[in-house]
Structure 1
Amino acid sequence: MASALDNPLLFLLVLLFPLSAMAQTNGTISLGSSLSTSDNSSWVSPSGYFAFGFKPVADKNLFLLAIWFDKVPEKTIVWSAHRGNLVLYGSKVELTSSGQLVLSNNQGQEIWTAQVTTGSATSAAVLDTGNLVLLNSNSGITWQSFDHSTDTILPSQILDMGTTLSSRETETNYSSGKFELRFQTDGNLVLYTTNLLTNYLYNAYWSSGTAGTNSQMIFNQSGYIYLRQTNGSVHNLTLGNIVSTRDCYHRATLDFDGVFRQYIYPRNWAGESWSIVWSVPSDICTAIAESIGSGACGFNSYCILDYTQRPRCYCPPNYSYLDSSNTFKGCKPDFVPQSCEPGGSGEEPRPQFQMTELPNTNWPMSDSEGYNSKNEDECRGRCLGDCLCALAIFTGVNCYTKKLPLSNGTIGTGTTKALIKVPQGNSTSQFPFQREMCFSFLEQEGI
C-alpha cells in the first residue's frame, strides 16, 4: 500500500490537517493540540456522547469554553471553564507542550488555566462520562472537570463534602447565579440563596436533613443519586425506579431558578427537551421565605408555578419589569409613589390614589403595620391614609400594610387578597398572569 510520502499532494494534506483532529484519532489529546473559535471543531469523547470546545452563545462573536451533550439536538452544556465568562472570536484553548490546559483571549492573553495539582500532564481526554481529564505518563488523572463542577453533575460523578454547585445567572447566562447547592462538611446537603454583590449567604430553603451522617454524594452509573453515609448505608435522593443510563442520558442541574432537578433524555430520540425525573424543592415560590432578600423572584414581583411546575415571575398592576429580558430581576412602579409632603398653596395638585386587587396574593415579609379588621373598606382606607403604604393584605380577619420593596411574593389558593395602591384612572389589568397561563395550558394540551 502506498504511503503519504509516495504522494506529495496527500503528504501536503496530512500536514495541513488540523492537529486537534489528528490528536483524537485514538481518543487521546496530545500535547500541543489546540482549539480555536475560528475552526468550528471540538474534542469529543470516544463514543461521541460529549464534546469540549467553544460554544457560540447569544452572539456569533461570543463563545463559551464548555463541555456539552453532543448527540442531544440542543447541545446541552454541562460544564464551562472560567465560570461562564465569554470570550471573543479569535480566542484559543491549548494543551501546551508543558502539559497545561490554557485559555487565551483574542489578544493572546492567558485568562484561565486548569490548575494541575500534582505532576504535569502528558495528554488529555474527554471521557464518555462527560469528564474532561488531564493525564500523566502513567495515565493517572492530574486534573479533571468533575472536580470543578459548575451547575451540573453526571452519572459516575462523586462529590465530597465541601463541594458547591452554583446556578447560572439566567437560562442563557452561564455566570454564577444567586443559588447554591452545598454538600456541607457536616454531611448535610443544603440549598441557599446568596447576594451576588456581597456573597452574603441567606438562610437555607431546602436541606436533606442528614447532618453528621454522610461522607459522599454519588451519582452512580445506573442513574441514581444518593448520599453515602459513614456507616455504609445510603440516603436516596432519586426515589422509585429510573430509566437506565443505557437507554437515556442523565444529568442533575441546579437550575437558574433555584430548583435542583434530575433530567433524562432518550439516547435514540430527536425530541427537543429533557424530561424531569424529580426535583427539590417541590415549590420554589413558597420554599424561600425570610425577612431579607427578594425571594424566588425579584423585589416587587410575585411568583407562581406554571403547568410544568417551573416558577414564573409577574409584576403587580401598574408595575413593570426592571429588565424585560430577565423577569426574575424584579419590578418597579410605573408611577410616582404617594407623596408624604403636606400640600400647600401654589403647589401642583397631588395625584389621587385608589386600591386595585389581586386575589390570593401575598408578600408575607414586607409588613409595616398590622390591624385587627374584618372590614375590607377599612383595610383599603388604612393604606390610602398611609403615604408609605404600597399595598395592604386583607385576610378577612386582619389587615397588614406593606412598604416597598416587596419581597417573597406568591400567589395561591385561599381568601387572602392583596390591595395595591395605584393612581386613580391608571390601573392596568388586575390579573396580568392569566393570559400567559392560558397560553401555557393551550400549549400543554397541544392546541
Structure 2
Amino acid sequence: MSPFLNFIFFTIAIFFSFQFHPISSQQFVIPNANFSGNNPIANLSTAWINSGSEYRSQTSTELSAIRPILFGSTYACGFSCNGNCETYLFSVFILGGDVSFPQVVWSANRNNPVRVSATLELTSKGDLVLRDYDGRLVWSTNTAGMSVAGLNLTELGNLVLFSAENSVVWQSFDHPTDALVPGQILVSGKKLTSSVSRTNWSSDEGGFTVSMTNKGLIASIGSDPPEVYYQNLYEGTKQSKEASYAKFENGSLDLYINPYPTYPDMSIPISQANSPQYIKLGFDGHLRVFKWEGRQWNENGDIIKLIAEPCSYPMICGKYGICSDGQCSCPGTLENFRRINDRQPNLGCSQVVPLTCNNSSSNHSFLDLEDVTYFVFEPDISDIDMNSCKEACLKNCSCKAAIFRYGSHPSNGDCYLPSQIFSLMNNEYTYYNSSVSIKIQIAPNEDKEEKMKVSLGPIVGTLAGIFCASLIIGMIIFVWRRKKKVEEIEEHYLDHVSGMPARFSYQDLEIATNFFVNKLGEGGFGSIFEGSLKDGTRIAVKCLDGIGHMIKKSFVAEVETIGRIHHVNLVRLIGFCAEKSNRLLVYEYMCNGSLDKWIYSRSQETPLEWSFRRKIILDIAKGLAYLHEDCWQKIIHLDIKPQNILLDENYNAKIADFGLSKLIDRNQSGVVTTMRGTPGYLAPEWLSAVITEKVDVYSFGVVVLEILCGRKNFDQSKPEEERHLLSLFKRKAEEGRLLDLVEDMQCNGAEIEEMMQIAALCLQNDCAKRPCMSMVIRVLEGVRDVQTDFDYNNLLISHNLINTIQQVDYQGVTSLLPSVLSGPR
C-alpha cells in the first residue's frame, strides 16, 4: 500500500472513530500474534510530519495538546506537547473518555524534544526514526536490516515493530520512562525515572527511580551512590539467575521473583478500576495510580507507603530542609541557612557560607540538631560515640553531615556519613535516638574594623596630643565605617528578599570563569565572562564596574526583579555575588548571543530566515506580556533593544538586562521616574516624565522594524533622508511601498507588511492607543486580525522631538556600546 493510501486510510479511520482490536502483548514477546484486521498498523516507508497541535487537552495536568498518528480504543501514539507547545515528544498516550483527555505514558525523546515540522518515519529498511525540523537525527529504534515488516500499537499500549513472522523486533515496553500501564512489566535491570518537574518532562538523573531487583521492588533517589527510601523485598529463600519482574494488573502490582511463575511471590494491592488506569512515578518520588472517572483522571492510590509519611520522602522539604508533620523549616538560624524561596518552603534551604572541600578540618564546624533523623541510615561506622562520628566526618572531605543513632546511651551507636543531604525530619516515628550534625564552613575572619582599630592604636597613642591629626583619623574611620555599613545593609537586604536566586562567593566565580579569562563582551555597567559551574552548567557572569550609586542601584534592581520571576522568554538569573565591593550577576549562557549581531551585520553567511525572525518577534512579545500582565507586580523593562534580546541554541529569544527596570503596583496607571533607556528606543511620553508599560510597547515596535528591515533605527552611514528608520518607514507607508525597506525576504511580502502594521500600532504617538502586549500576541498568532485602516499621521514623532530625546542629558540613559556578546549583558 502506498504512503498516500495509508494516509487516506488512517484519516477515514479517525473521523469515523473505528474501534481497533490490536494484538495482545504477552510478558516478554508476542508469539503467534495476528496482525490482520483494522489494527492501528503502519507499513514500511511511511512518514508523518508534526504539523502542530491537533487536539487541545482538557485535562488539569501538564499535558497541553496532542497530534495522534495511530489510534486504538484506549491508547494512541503521536506528538504531544505541554506549556506553550513550542516543543514536542513522540509518545504513547492513554485516552480517557475521548481524545481530549490524554495522558502520556511513554515517550521516545523526553530529553531531546522536537519542534513543529519534525518528521517520524518508518523507513523501508525497518528503522523507526525521529528527526527534528532541520533534519537532525533525534531518536531511532536502530532496527534497520532486522526484518521489520510494520509498526503496531497494541491494545495494551505497547508500540511494537514486528517481523513478517509476527515476532517482536522492538517494543516500547522494553524502554519504560516514568509510567506503567495494565499488562506492562518492569524487568530487573530496567527502571522508571522521574521527570524534573511537573512541566519539564525530561528525565532527572539526580531524581527518583523505581526498579525491580531479584529481591523485590525498590525506590531510590539518584545520589552517589543512590539512597533507597522505599523497598518491598521478598523474604523467602528462592534464588534465581533469571530476571525477576513486576507486572501491573488491574487490582495489584505483582512481583515475580522467579521468571514465568504460576503465582506472584508478592502483590501490592491497588484498587480495581473498570476504566483506563496507569501508574506514574512523580517528580516528588510518589508512585501513584491514576484512573479515569467521569470527566477527569483521579488518583487511585499511592503504591509507596512510608512509615513516617509524608516526612520520609527524600525531597519533601528539599535539600537541608527539616520536615515536621508535613511542615518545612531550615536548620539553625539565618546565619547558617536560608530558604531558597520564602514562598515555597518545600524547595529546601541553602548554606549561607558554601561548604568547601579542603584538607584542613579547622575550617569546618558543625550545626548540631537533636532528635532529628534521616530517611535512610546505612552505617559507615559501628560501635562508636557521637564525638568520634563527628571527627570522622571532619576527616572526610565529601562528608556533609554526621548522622548518629544510638539506643540507651550516646557513648555507643552507629555513624552514617552521607555525601549529600536531602530532607531531614524530626525523630517522631522511630524507637531509637538520633542526632544530625551538619558540617558548616567557618567564615574567614574579615572584621576589618577590629584590624583597623589594632593598626590605628599605636598611631592614636603617638598623636594623642595633636588634635588636628586625631580629627583627620576620626573622619577617616567615620567615612570607612559608614561605607562598610551601607554595603552590609545592601547585602543583608538581598538575603531577606523572598525568592532570591543562589548566592555565590567571589572565589566560586573566579574558579567558574577560570579567573575571568574568556571575556564575551561589554554591556551596560560592566563586562561579561564565560564560565562553567561544577555540575557543567555553562554560565555568563556579568561583573559590574565600579561601586557608585548607579551601579549598586542597577545591581539591586536586577537581582530583585529577575531573581523572582521565571519565564521561557526571560533570561534566567542563576545567582549573584555581593561580597565587599564586588557585584556580579550569574546568568544562563546564551550561545547565539544578542539579537543585534544577527540583524545589523551584513557579513552573516546565513542571515536569519523569515521563520526565525517571526518567531523571535513572538518570543519578545510573550516575554513583555509576562512582565506587564502576569507578574505579581507590573514590571516595566525600560530598555528594550536588540542588544538586550538574547538567543539560545535554537534561536529562542529571551529578554535580558533588567538593571533599569521599574516595579509598579497593579493599581497604578503610571509612574513618575527619571528618564532612562537608550536613545532611539524612547517613547515620546518620556518628555512628560509620566510613563506606563506602553514605553516598552513603543520600544518593541522599534525593534520589530529593525528585525524586519535588518538595520539600525538610526544609521549615520545612510543618506540623510534615510538615516532615521522611523521617518523612512512613515514615508514608505504613505507611498504604499513598505517592501522597499526589506532586502532579503521579498517572498514573504504579505506577512512582512502585516508585521509592519503591528509595529505601526505599537509606535503611535498617543500611548493610550498602543495595544497591550497580550493583544499583540493574539494578532501575531492569528487569533485576531491586524488593523488595516491605520492612519500613519498618528505614527511618528517629528525629527525635532527625536533629536530632543536623543540629546537629553540624564543619568539613566545607557551607553550605545557595540554588542559582541555571546551571553547576557
Task: State the distance in 2 between where 1:408 and 1:370 align.
Answer: 21
Could you tell me which residue of structure 2 aligns to residue 409 of structure 1? 424
CA displacement, residues 278-317 of structure 1 (integer Å, 9 cap, x when unaligned): 32445466546xxxxx7655323234665xxxxx765567
Asked if the contact 2:286–2:302 (Cα under 8 Å) also holds between the matched residues in 1, the reply is no
1:104-143 deviations in whole A, cap 9, x for unaligned?
Answer: 1121111100233982322212222121112222333221
Paired residue for 1:46?
72
Q: 3-state SS of the aligned residue for 1:208? A: strand
CA distance in 2, matches of 1:305, 1:99: 55
Cα separation, 1, equivalents of 2:344 and 2:9 = 41
- 1:240-251 equivalences in 2 (<5 Å): 242-244=271-273, 247-251=274-278
Alignment partner for residue 55 of structure 1, among 73, 80, 83? 80
Quickly say closer, same or farther: Cα 1:147–1:83, change in 2 above 3 A: same
- Secondary structure, in 3 states, of the residue corresponding to 1:274? strand
Q: Counterpart in 2 of 1:175?
A: 202
Equivalent position SS for 1:29:
strand
Scaled by the length of structure 1, the TM-score of the pair is 0.62
Question: In the alignment, does 2:220 pair up with 1:192?
Answer: yes
SS in 1 for 2:239: coil
Residue in 2 that maps onto 1:298: 318
Distance 1:80 1:314, change over 3 A: farther
- Equivalent-residue separation in structure 2 for 1:153 and 1:243 (angstroms): 15
Partners of 2:256 and 2:13 lie apart in 1 by 38
- 8 Å CA contact 1:23–1:29 kept in 2: the answer is no
Q: How does 1:6-405 map to 2 (within 5 A)?
A: 21=11, 26=38, 27-31=40-44, 32-38=46-52, 40=54, 41-47=67-73, 49-71=74-96, 75-116=102-143, 119-177=146-204, 178-184=207-213, 186-195=214-223, 200-210=224-234, 212=239, 215-230=243-258, 232-239=262-269, 242-244=271-273, 247-261=274-288, 263-266=289-292, 269-276=294-301, 278-283=303-308, 287=312, 297-303=317-323, 315=330, 318=334, 321-322=339-340, 330-332=348-350
Q: Distance in 2 between matches of 1:192 and 1:150?
A: 15
What does the per-residue CA deviation read over 1:77-99, in whole Å, with 9 as the maximum and x for residues that have no partner?
Answer: 11111244322232222222332
Using the TM superposition, name which of 225-234 and 213-222 deviates more: 213-222
Alpha-carbon separation, structure 1, partners of 2:202 and 2:344: 14
Task: Return the alpha-carbon distance in structure 2 between the equivalents of residues 133 and 158 of structure 1.
Answer: 15
Alignment CA distance shift 1:132-1:333 (3 Å): same
Give the Cα separation in 2 of the matches to 1:86 and 1:301.
33
CA distance in 2, matches of 1:217, 1:363: 30
Distance 1:39 1:171 in 2: 20
Partner amino acid for 2:172?
S
Distance in 2, Cα, partners of 1:313 & 1:77: 31
**Cα deviation 1:170-218 (Å, max 9, x = unaligned):** 222222222222222x3432222223xxxx3324332222283685434
Q: Which amino acid aligns with 1:163?
A: K
Mapped contact 1:23–1:33 kept (Cα < 8 A): no
Kept after mapping to 2: 8 A contact 1:54/1:63: yes
Please give the secondary structure, in 2, of the residue aligned with 1:21: helix
| 1:36 alignment partner AA | N
Contact 2:277 2:291 in 1 (8 A): yes
Tell me, yes or no, if the aligned pair for 2:150 and 2:161 is still in contact at 8 Å. Answer: yes
* Cα pair 1:117 1:143 within 8 Å, conserved: no
Residues 10, 70 of structure 2: 8 Å contact kept = no
Q: Which residue of 2 aligns with 1:383?
A: none
* Cα distance in structure 1, aligned partners of 2:346 and 2:211: 22
The answer to whether the 8 Å contact 1:362/1:417 transfers is yes
Q: TM-score, normalised by structure 2?
A: 0.36
Aligned equivalents of 2:8 and 2:185: distance in 1?
35
RMSD over aligned CA atoms reads 5.0
Q: Distance in 1 between matches of 2:323 and 2:114?
A: 34
* CA distance 1:89–1:296, shift in 2 (3 Å): same
CA deviations on 1:45-64 (whole Å, 9 max, x unpaired) are 431x2221221222321222
C-alpha distance in 2 between matches for 1:61 and 1:217:
37
SS at match of 2:11: helix
Change (3 A) 1:418 1:53: same
How far apart, in 1, do the equivalents of 2:90 and 2:134 lie?
A: 16
Q: Distance in 1 between matches of 2:103 and 2:343?
A: 21
Q: Is the 8 A contact 1:215 1:228 kept in 2?
A: no
Mapped to 2, the partners of 1:327 and 1:56 lie a distance apart of 29
In 1, distance between residues paired with 2:298 and 2:140? 33
Q: Distance in 2 between matches of 1:131 and 1:326?
A: 39
Distance 2:12 2:371 in 1: 63
Per the alignment, do residues 249 and 335 of structure 1 end up closer, same or farther by CA in structure 2, a change over 3 Å counting? same
Q: CA distance change for structure 1 residues 336 and 81 in 2, over 3 Å: closer, same or farther?
A: closer
Gapped regions of structure 1 (runs ≥ 5):
1-13, 289-293, 307-311, 338-354, 372-389, 399-403, 429-447
The DSSP-based 3-state class of the residue aligned with 2:109 is helix
Check conservation: 2:89, 2:110, Cα contact below 8 A: no
Residues 149 and 163, structure 2, Cα contact 8 Å, conserved in 1: yes
Is the CA contact 2:51–2:116 (under 8 Å) kept in the aligned structure 1? yes
* Counterpart-to-counterpart distance in 1, 2:133 and 2:162: 27
Per-residue CA distance 1:355-380 (angstroms, 9 max, x = gap): 9xx99866799xxx968xxxxxxxxx
Q: 1:92 to 1:18 in 2, by over 3 A?
A: farther
Alpha-carbon distance between aligned partners in 1 of 2:149 and 2:131, rounded to the nearest angstrom: 20
Aligned partners of 2:193 and 2:210 also within 8 Å: yes
More helix by percentage: 2
Q: Counterparts of 1:416 and 1:50 in 2: how far apart (Å)?
A: 49
Identity of aligned residues (%): 21
> Aligned letter for 2:50?
S
SS at match of 1:212: coil
Report the alpha carbon displacement of residue 407 of structure 1 after superposing the two structures with TM: 4.4
Q: Greater CA deviation, 327-336 or 118-127?
A: 327-336
Contact 1:260 1:281 survives alignment (8 Å):
no
User: Letter of the aligned partner of 1:276 in structure 2?
Assistant: G
| SS, match of residue 115 in structure 1 | coil
Give secondary structure in 2 for the equivalent of 1:237: strand
Instruction: Work out which structure has the larger RCO, using CA pairs closer than 8 Å and 6 or more positions apart in sequence.
Output: 1
How has the CA–CA distance of structure 1 residues 271 and 220 changed in structure 2, closer, same or farther, with 3 Å as cutoff? closer
Does structure 2 retain, via aligned residues, the 8 Å contact 1:115–1:143? no
Q: Deviation string for 1:320-377 (max 9, x for gaps)?
A: 554789976632257999xxxxxxxxxxxxxxxxx9xx99866799xxx968xxxxxx
State the AA in 2 paired with 1:207: Q
| Contact 1:228 1:235 survives alignment (8 Å) | yes
Change (3 A) 1:203 1:265: closer
SS of aligned partner of 1:146: helix
Closer/same/farther in 2, CA of residues 236 and 16 from structure 1, 3 Å limit: closer
| Residue identity opposite 1:332 in structure 2 | S
Higher strand proportion (structure 1 or 2): 1
